Amino acid sequence: MTQSRRTKYSIFSLARNAFSHHENWQVVWRSPPPQKSYDVIVVGGGGHGLATAYYLAKEHGISNVAVLEKGWIGGGNTGRNTTIVRSNYLWDEAALLYEKSMQLWEGLSQDLNYNVMFSQRGVYNLGHSLQDMRDIARRVNANRLNGIDGELLSGTQVKERIPIINIACRYPVLGASFQARGGVARHDAVAWGFARAADARGVDIIQNCEVTGIRREGDKVTGVETERGFIAAPKIAVVTAGHSSVLAEMAGLRLPIESHPLQALVSEPLKPVLDTVVMSNAVHGYVSQSDKGELVIGSGIDSFTGYGQRGSFSIIEDNLAAIVELFPIFSRVRMLRQWGGIVDTCPDACPIVAKTSVRGLYFNCGWGTGGFKATPGSGWVFAHTVARDEPHALNAAFDIERFVSGALIDEHGAAGVAH
């Protein structure tokens, strides 16, 4: 089905459907049974996998594609993250890749014909020591050299712009970097928007279809074993975030990935009180306010590895202590719910978007705690890599070989916290 055969969402389709009491809307995407074979199988129906399928069809004309998802689409980290979007990374390789993503975000709702609620409300990364401020100044300068917006602010300027912040806390806020084009987006809408647009171009989205094995013939892949039988494909693109090493093992590979729980929490809804995103590494916490009014709060990973989508209480305690220190006004706000996701962390806090030593097998993983912002850019470069069997210039540095050669791109210290 081509894009033109999907009803376009518009004021006119809204009005038309109002006449039939909104009972005749087309399904947002189909749920076809799996075919026996595809040109490309994408394993993992998170934002990155769905974006990969969309750009394979849109940019490379490859639409005989299946996205196989073990649960429901967006049920992994895509639907569990705190949705911070920014591109102010330190090193050229990372900054340019995230900036590509930022540019795609800026036109994404129109491109997908689906409102992903991208809100460029700005992101502050606070500095609490002279060394923090030196690092922040260096990063803002590096960003500007790459044409990425960034401002260096003093503590007083931060206080003027965010009146409810306490800059005279235990670790006083000396200043911040500010990226005005950064912000947040609606995570579910990102998954659903990519799914709808990919489906409209002929991609089969198959939920409740876990991949249990990767079949190889010598040095090349031939397809995947699934809960619903064998599906053949000459190309398999794996985008399974925290489960990437499990999938790699199925093909006899080892990845330098550790899987850690990362959690977040939201408060009861409040009237609008915070119109931006604030992140701090020194006290380790970040906060924004959702459109529903909830404070969306997060911090760092649990230091142990694991697959339990929970996270430990000590992190919540430290996280909330940090938030209350920065925003004493929130001290009596009640928390509504808490959850966790499993993030895939690489030793240099940068992703792997690359082909592997097995012909036809590609991995897109290692985005760790910060891959939501990369969703469109990641899908765009990965689709290029899979379609042409070679990386795009923007992801050439993010291969697996860097862990052998030592050409790492260390982004650990690049921003307030690693999201």
Ligand X SMILES: Cc1cc2nc3c(=O)[nH]c(=O)nc-3n(C[C@H](O)[C@H](O)[C@H](O)COP(=O)(O)OP(=O)(O)OC[C@H]3O[C@@H](n4cnc5c(N)ncnc54)[C@H](O)[C@@H]3O)c2cc1C
Query: Of 89 and 330, which CB lies nearer to ligand X in the complex structure?
Result: 89
Query: Of 133 and 372, which CB lies nearer to ligand X in the complex structure?
Result: 372
Query: Of 155 and 370, which CB lies nearer to ligand X in the complex structure?
Result: 370
Is 122 a binder of ligand X (CB under 6 A)?
A: no
**Residue of 76, 366, 377, 416 interacting with ligand X (CB under 6 A):** 76
Is 47 a binder of ligand X (CB under 6 A)?
A: yes
In the complex, what is the shortest distance from the CB of residue 9 to ligand X, in angstroms, rounded to a whole number? 23
Is 71 a binder of ligand X (CB under 6 A)?
A: yes
Is 89 a binder of ligand X (CB under 6 A)?
A: no
Is 372 a binder of ligand X (CB under 6 A)?
A: yes
Is 221 a binder of ligand X (CB under 6 A)?
A: no
Q: Is the dihedral of CA 234, 238, 243, 246 positive or negative?
A: positive
What Å distances lie between residue 186 and 47, 72, 191, 199, 372, CA to CA? 12, 17, 9, 20, 10
Is 100 a binder of ligand X (CB under 6 A)?
A: no
Query: Of 69 and 199, which CB lies nearer to ligand X in the complex structure?
Result: 69
**Residue of 63, 82, 281, 356 interacting with ligand X (CB under 6 A):** 82
User: 389-407: buried (b, 16+ CB within 10 Å) or exposed (e) per residue?
Assistant: eebbebbebbbbebeeeee
Residue nearest to ligand X (CB): 46
Parallel, antiparallel, or unpaired: how do β-strands 204-206 and 65-68 relate? parallel
Cβ atoms within 10 Å of 280's Cβ, excluding its own: 27
**Residue of 29, 42, 49, 88 interacting with ligand X (CB under 6 A):** 49
**Residue of 276, 281, 369, 385 interacting with ligand X (CB under 6 A):** 369
What whole-number distance in Å separates Cα of residue 400 and Cα of residue 403? 6
Q: Is the dihedral of CA 231, 232, 238, 243 positive or negative?
A: positive
In the complex, what is the shortest distance from the CB of residue 302 to ligand X, in angstroms, rounded to a whole number? 11
**Residue of 373, 377, 398, 416 interacting with ligand X (CB under 6 A):** 373
What whole-number distance in Å separates Cα of residue 267 and Cα of residue 286? 13
In the complex, what is the shortest distance from the CB of residue 53 to ligand X, in angstroms, rounded to a whole number? 11
What Å distances lie between residue 309 and 84, 115, 201, 257, 339, CA to CA? 20, 28, 33, 17, 7
Contact 35, 41 (CB under 8 A): no
Contact 297, 319 (CB under 8 A): yes
Query: Of 71 and 229, which CB lies nearer to ligand X in the complex structure?
Result: 71
Is 289 a binder of ligand X (CB under 6 A)?
A: no
Cβ atoms within 10 Å of 340's Cβ, excluding its own: 22
* The two three-digit tokens of residue 359, written as one number: 């012909």
* The two three-digit tokens of residue 93, written as one number: 């390789």
Provide the β-strand partners of residue 176: 126, 153
Is 370 a binder of ligand X (CB under 6 A)?
A: yes
Applying CB under 6 A, the residues found at the interface with ligand X are 43-49, 68-71, 75-78, 80-84, 210-211, 239-241, 243, 247, 262-264, 298, 341, 343, 367, 369-373, 419
